[in-house]
Amino acid sequence: MHQEPGRGYVLGVDAGGTSSRALLTAADGTVLGTGRSGGANPNSHPPAEAAAHIVEALAAALDAHNPGRVRACVVGLAGASKLTDPAVAELFGKAWAGLGLGCEVRVVSDAEAAFASATSAADGTVLVAGTGSIAGRIRQRRRIATAGGYGWLLGDEGSGFWIGREAVRSALATLTADREEPGPLARAVLTEALGAHEAHGTGLRTAHRLITTVNGQPPVRLARFAPLVSALADTDEAAGTIVGEAAAHLVRIALASRDAGERTPVVLVGSVLGEGSPVGARVREQLAGVDVLASSDGVAGANWLAAVEAFGEQAPRPLSG
């Protein structure tokens, strides 16, 4: 281990809906420990459980290292706005007080951690499209305004939920129109929703089963149809259209978060915008001339935000390996 005991450690956490990951580094970026636990979004988990998962990941990353020597700790939290509720904030505060860290814990949004994971720039735009969608205006590494992000009921255009819903609507339009033969996307939707034996179903009875099945499940489960759209973007006309519309919606909220002619980077986050995704490719096309980056790993971003806090702008990024 190459720790520099004279300068102390920094800790970062990426706390999302399905897992929490922590990363402890020395001042030179050397990785001293990592930790992992369950999901910690306080909107989808009981806040006490969410806080306990973060503490568990932090404790695992610290292992035998002296917590009192941690100089800065940043938690990038999905659902961070929940901590505007004083009761929830107090519960989180008490949970990590037990760790004996040598610093306060600073909570930032998962979008801020994602932005910092991709670039050392202080200003720019973060564009998130997973199950939901939201764009953020980043200034001095803080998200000072958002566009979109109303949640699936009121918006989230271009998100996995939205793409999945459009896929089902497209299949229904085909099934309820007398003259059309279901195409590859409609067949894929029917297979996913009703099983392979229904893949070639046609007509109103099949449409009715699809409607009933989808309406009988939690709305966000519609996001499971989104990968079908990505997979068929080049071969099914309806899928290609949905991809184009999703990209247009996402570009619209990204631009709403930017000044006219702004030249800062745009950081893409989330499965809909991931490596090789057709929506991501269209977004990059439409943002030609802008530096479009992929978020690498939120925990590295949170760790680096802690390092900047402790050691300044020139703090090294965590070294891999």
Shortest distance, position 197 Cβ to its own copies, whole Å: 20
In this structure, which amino acid lies at residue 137?
R
CB atoms within 10 A of CB 32: 20
- State which of residues 204, 235, 263, 285 lies at the interface with its own copies (CB under 8 A): 204
Q: Helix, strand, coil: what percent of the chain each, to 5?
A: 45, 20, 35
- State which of residues 46, 94, 145, 180 lies at the interface with its own copies (CB under 8 A): 145
- State which of residues 99, 172, 229, 238 lies at the interface with its own copies (CB under 8 A): 172
CB atoms within 10 A of CB 288: 7
Choices 99-107, 181-189, 212-220, 260-268 (CB under 8 A): range interacting with its own copies: 212-220
What is the 3 state secondary structure string of 253-299?
A: HHHHCCCCCCCCCEEEECHHHCCCCHHHHHHHHHCCCCCEEECCCHH
- Tell me how far CA of residue 28 lies from CA of 31, 103, 107, in angstroms: 9, 19, 23
CB atoms within 10 A of CB 219: 14
Shortest distance, position 299 Cβ to its own copies, whole Å: 27
Q: Does 316 bind its own copies (CB under 8 A)?
A: no
Q: Which residue, 145 or 319, has its beta carbon nearer to its own copies?
A: 145
- State which of residues 36, 60, 150, 224 lies at the interface with its own copies (CB under 8 A): 150
Name which of residues 234 to 293 contact its own copies (CB under 8 A): none
- 133, 156 Cβ separation under 8 angstroms: yes
Choices 53-61, 213-221, 229-237, 307-315 (CB under 8 A): range interacting with its own copies: 213-221
Choices 114-122, 126-134, 152-160, 294-302 (CB under 8 A): range interacting with its own copies: 152-160
Which residues lie near its own copies (CB under 8 A)? Answer: 81, 145-147, 150-151, 153-155, 165, 168-169, 172, 176, 204, 208, 211, 214-215, 219, 222
